[in-house]
Each structure stands twice: as C-alpha cells, then as structure tokens.
Chains A and B, each alone.
Chain A
C-alpha cells in the first residue's frame, strides 16, 4: 500500500512541478485531474472485480466470488467517492457550477458510486443468507453495466464533461507529459488498490470464519 501511495504521490508532485498548462483550461485547478482521472480508471477496475465476483457467486456459488464481490464493493466506493468529490470541486472552479444534471457522464458515474455505497451499507446491515447474496450480486452485475455506458457517455452525449482523451479520435488527445503522469498515478493507485484488496480480503475471510466459529460455540 505504501509503495502505491508513494508512486501516486510522486505523480502528484510531477503534476504540480513538471506538467504544462492544459489546452482549453484556465489556472491551476485543472491539476485536480492528476488523481481524479486515475481514480476513475481504478474504479472501473474495481467494478470489474465486482462483476467477476458476482458472476462467480451466481454461476458456481463460489465462496471466493462472494468475498471478492465484497472487497470490490468497498474499493469501488472509495475510488468512486474520490471521483465524485474531486470532480465537482473542479467543476465549481472551471464551469462555475459543481454539477450539471444534464451531463450523462456525471449522472451515470454518480449512480455507479451510489450502487457501491448501497452495497457496502447493506452488507454491513443485512444477515448473510443465500437470498441476500443473490440480491447483492444481482445489483453488482447491474452496476457493472453502467461502466461501459459511463465510459462511452462523453462520446455519445457530451455536454459539460471533457471529451475522451484516449481513443477519442481526432478531437481527443492530451499532452504527452500529462498522459505519462496520469499513467504513473494510475500504476500507483492500482498498487495501492491491490494492497487494500489484500487486507480487505483477509478481513472479510476472517469475519466469515469468526461467524462460523461463533455458530459452533452457540
């Protein structure tokens, strides 16, 4: 985790000291993107993990699938919150308004984060039954459907959110230095996320084992 944080932190320093001013944006507030964008990419990975875990539970009734889905929901909430809090701050600086309800990208991503929040809260409050696991994983699978929709939203219905910079065609693209810093921050966040996932996996496995032991004691 520390290694990931150091790499992401180094990218942040480079974003402040080395990155040039971005075309079309005024002032330094655009430098929020050096963590905002990699956090969004990392959240797509964690929603992918949620999809794999949920599918494994439905398909094979797999215990590891259930644990993976729980780990992924927590991580999706963390990285989702990083995106939905930093985005409006940049929006307030750049657009003069923190949110635009007509922008599809903003709204689908907010729904995605709300799904992660619901999954985390429900997992802590509901009894662990096969029926609850089915509901949890069903919502997890549905949530993943929003990932490609969110990713493509700026291509299909661009309103306020900046257009795609990778694979965005002739109008897309970004300065090479900015892209390199993004990739460095993304690598750091993925390493951090893997470390957090390993700890979260251990916690959730132990909590399940504890529940089994307590049943034996009762």
Chain B
C-alpha cells in the first residue's frame, strides 16, 4: 500500500469516529428532549394522558 494511502485511511477513520460520536450524541440529545417534553406534558395534563 502507498504511504499516502496509510495516511489517508488513518485520518478517515479518526474523522469518521469524531463525526459518528458527535452525531449520535446530538441524536440522543434530541431524542431525550422530545421524550422529556412528552412526559412533562402528560404530567401537567393527566386527563389528556388518560384519554
């Protein structure tokens, strides 16, 4: 394998890891925020959640 190919693959992996980690972090933040809003609204309007 060419020297430059090793270099490119190492940086592709490292950039990919940072991108994947940050994306899943923001995805989890959006998910938990939406679930919090849903639970809080059902707690403040208990009759709505019972219907």
* Interface SS of chain B: helix
Bitwise, A15-37 to B at CB < 8 A (1) or not (0) is 00000000000011101100110
Min CB distance, B15 to chain A, in Å? 9
Is A217's CB under 8 angstroms from B42's CB? Answer: yes
Smallest Cβ-Cβ distance to A31: which chain B residue = B7
Cβ B25 vs Cβ A12 within 8 A: no
Q: Chain B residues with Cβ under 8 A from A89's Cβ?
A: 6, 9-10, 13
Contact A28 B10 (CB under 8 A): no
Closest chain-B Cβ to A97's Cβ sits at a distance in Å of 13
B11 touching A12, Cβ below 8 Å: yes
* A85→B16 CA distance, assembly (Å): 11
A199 touching B29, Cβ below 8 Å: yes
Q: Say yes or no: B43 contacts A213, CB within 8 Å.
A: yes
Please measure, in the bound complex, the distance between the C-alpha atom of A154 and the C-alpha atom of B29, giving whole angstroms: 40
Cβ-neighbour of A1 out of B1, B4, B9, B22 (below 8 A) = B22
Q: Determine the residue in chain A with the shortest Cβ distance to B6.
A: A93
Select from chain B the residue with minimum beta-carbon distance to A27: B3
Q: In the complex, what's the smallest C-beta–C-beta distance from B42 to chain A, in angstroms? A: 7
Distance in Å: Cβ of A61 to nearest Cβ of chain B: 24
A180 an interface residue at 8 Å Cβ cutoff?
A: no
Secondary structure dominating the interface of A: helix
Does A5 sit at the interface, judged by CB under 8 A? yes
CA distance A29 to B10 in the complex (A): 9
Report which residue of B17, B40, B43 has the largest number of chain A beta carbons within 10 angstroms of its beta carbon: B17
Q: Is the C-beta of A216 less than 8 angstroms from some C-beta in chain B?
A: yes
Q: Across the interface, which residues of B come within 8 angstroms of A217, CB to CB? A: 39, 42-43, 49
Report chain B residues within 8 Å CB of A146: none
User: A51-89 interface mask toward B, CB cutoff 8 Å, 1 = contact, 0 = none?
Assistant: 000000000000000000000001000100110011001
In the complex, the chain A residue whose C-beta lies closest to that of B9 is A89
CA A119 to CA B22, docked complex, whole Å: 19
Interface contact A199-B26, CB-CB below 8 Å: yes
Q: A81-B17, A89-B13, A210-B35 are in contact. Are A216 and B6 (CB under 8 A)?
A: no
Q: B39 contacts A214, CB within 8 Å? A: yes
Q: CB distance B6 to A196 under 8 Å?
A: no
| Interface CB pairs A-B, < 8 A, 16 | A28-B4, A28-B7, A29-B3, A74-B21, A78-B18, A81-B17, A82-B17, A89-B10, A93-B6, A192-B18, A196-B22, A196-B25, A199-B25, A203-B29, A203-B32, A206-B29
Q: Across chains A and B, which 6 residue pairs bring their CB atoms closest together, nearest first? A: A27-B3, A93-B6, A89-B10, A86-B10, A206-B32, A32-B10
